[in-house]
Structure 1
Amino acid sequence: MNLKEVKNLGEEEVITLAKSGDKEAFAKLMYERKDVLYKTAYIYVKNKEDALDIVSETVYRSYASIKKLKNPQFFNTYLTRILINCAVDMLKKKKIFVNGSENVLLNKAVKDEDIEGNIDLYRAVDLLNDKYRTVIVLKYFRDMTFEDISEVMKCPIGTVKTYLHRALKTLRINMDCPEK
């Protein structure tokens, strides 16, 4: 199909076309998600070039394996999982290991989109272990539901909630916020 025809299709139809190898359909899907992919990658690496590398690798990996996607409605979950794996791979490759406040604080920081103004928050999120950081990123920076996070992380919803609770508790400590 040409790009003009692809633009007039619904999302599930475009995903189905992309699964069958249609490059224009895949390009449309990536174009629509480029900002979200970049912002999520940036949260992990705090560096424009590395974030762009992660997005590039995510696009490559997703294109190479899109035929494995069983259900088009889970495309965003599939793409997010690939992005997180790429980000974690890059952090490990660069040997950047992390050891390892409040909901209102996180929501406010995310809505502000002022990275410099929220540097303490971003540093505190960086100190979290991979699982806790992933839950925080997906919940507050990607605004995903517990069910979606559970799908991305391949773990039960109860585990996701536990990770979130522990991550918030750790963030409160790291940021010296009183518990509420």
Structure 2
Amino acid sequence: MFYKKKIERDFITYVTENQQSLYRFAYSYVKNQQDALDIVQESIRKGLCSIQNIQESAAIKSWFYRIIINTSIDMIRKRKREQLVEDETIEFMAHGNEDSYEDMDLREAVEALPHTYRMIITLRFFEDLKIEEIAHILEENPNTIKTRLYRALKLLRMDLDSSYSEGKIHE
């Protein structure tokens, strides 16, 4: 009983200390601020309801990322037919404002990757997870993750190189 309470406290501490990373990760799936917040909140609820499944505190990180992935996929499926436009997007389009992203080509290149590659890039470089952690979260072999990471980087490089050679990148 005491050990389970410790794991529950460790889970709450983990979520509290990593809330921005968890939000960014959920946002990488749904591209909507409110949906990402809902995913994190729902994932925390699911985590607290199934905390008894955790045997050790060291497994909390990968276990919780898996919950976020599943919750994100569930939300995407539920809203697949809905076409939602954020108020900011409507305002942006109405006023004819220019995009202000500094790394727009990189963002577009990452978004153009197949889902499997995009998730590995996001977990590795934006969430700073190790290959073994990514493998555990995605329930894949670490060698498979390494191969997919290499392919994703190669695709990104090809996409960015072609953008550069076509003159899309302006300095």
Shift of 1:59: 0.8
Going from structure 1 to structure 2, the CA distance change for 1:86 and 1:173 (only over 3 Å counts) comes to farther
Going from structure 1 to structure 2, the CA distance change for 1:120 and 1:165 (only over 3 Å counts) comes to same
For 1:83, the equivalent position in structure 2 comes to 68
For 1:17, the equivalent position in structure 2 comes to 5
* d(CA) in 1 for partners of 2:32, 2:102: 16
Q: Percent identity?
A: 35
Matched, 1:50 2:35: yes
Contact residue 23 and residue 37 of structure 2 kept, 8 A: yes
CA deviations 1:4-49 (Å, max 9, x no partner) are xxxxxxxxx9x84254xx6x66543321221111111122222211
RMSD (CA atoms): 2.6
* d(CA) in 2 for partners of 1:73, 1:138: 18
Larger Rg belongs to: 2
Instruction: Within 5 Å, give how 1:29-178 maps onto structure 2.
Output: 29-95=14-80, 116-175=101-160, 176=162
Contact residue 11 and residue 60 of structure 2 kept, 8 A: no
| TM-score using structure 2 length | 0.72
Contact residue 16 and residue 72 of structure 1 kept, 8 A: no
For 1:112, the equivalent position in structure 2 comes to none
Unaligned runs of 5+ residues in structure 2 are: 82-99, 165-171
| Matched AA of 2:17 | E
Going from structure 1 to structure 2, the CA distance change for 1:57 and 1:164 (only over 3 Å counts) comes to same
* d(CA) in 2 for partners of 1:165, 1:26: 32
| Matched AA of 1:88 | I
Shift of 1:141: 0.6
CA deviations 1:51-89 (Å, max 9, x no partner) are 111111211111111111122111111111111222222
| TM-score using structure 1 length | 0.69
